[in-house]
Structure 1
Amino acid sequence: MAKTRARRAATGAAPIVERVQTGVRLEKRLLKVLKALAEVHDITLGDLLEGIVLHAFEGKAPFSRDSLAKIADLRRIYGLDLDASHAHRLRER
């Protein structure tokens, strides 16, 4: 995420966008990890999610090695044992 900010700063003004409020349901532990990661980077949860999605749309990895290490710590802290193999197969209680 830091590289993205540096690149954006180097290329000029940030684009003007229109944001909308959305109600999205996420797995509880996943949301805790995302919120904590946003806090670590001192950005909003929305900014974090936008960054992840924009990187994914371009086939780019959204996280540095340092961020991945922090994510691993947060996953342990919050007991998040889900991984990519669980995507699109989660069922609610």
Structure 2
Amino acid sequence: MERIQTGVRMDASLVKVLKGLAEYHEMSLGDLLEGICLHAFEGKSAFGAETRAVIEKLRDVYGCRWTSADSHLHPEPSRKRK
């Protein structure tokens, strides 16, 4: 597997939740995101009930109230190609 560094922009409160969750599971943020994506690609949930409870606590701590319904409401501005 070849890994690359990315420059992904995300909502700050969401990133804080993800970092907290990665720390809870004693893994890197990159490993957590890879796992979430791979599960999603297969139509599977990446989290069980215990982890979802931890996520809800982290969301409360960091004020992250985004839901899947909000996922396309604030897209990054398009870059014009030269």
* TM-score, normalised with respect to structure 1: 0.79
How many residues get paired?
76
The aligned residue for residue 42 of structure 2 is: 58
Aligned partner (choices 44, 57, 60) of residue 76 of structure 1: 60
The aligned residue for residue 14 of structure 1 is: none
C-alpha root-mean-square deviation of aligned residues, in Å?
1.1
Matched AA of 2:69: S
Matched AA of 2:26: D
**1:31 counterpart = 2:41:** no
The aligned residue for residue 79 of structure 2 is: none
Aligned partners of 2:65 and 2:43: how far apart in 1? Answer: 24
**1:22 counterpart = 2:6:** yes
Matched AA of 1:77: V
Aligned partners of 2:63 and 2:74: how far apart in 1? Answer: 16
Aligned partners of 2:45 and 2:75: how far apart in 1? Answer: 27
Percent of aligned pairs with the same residue?
53
Give structure 1 stretches of 5+ with no counterpart.
Answer: 1-16
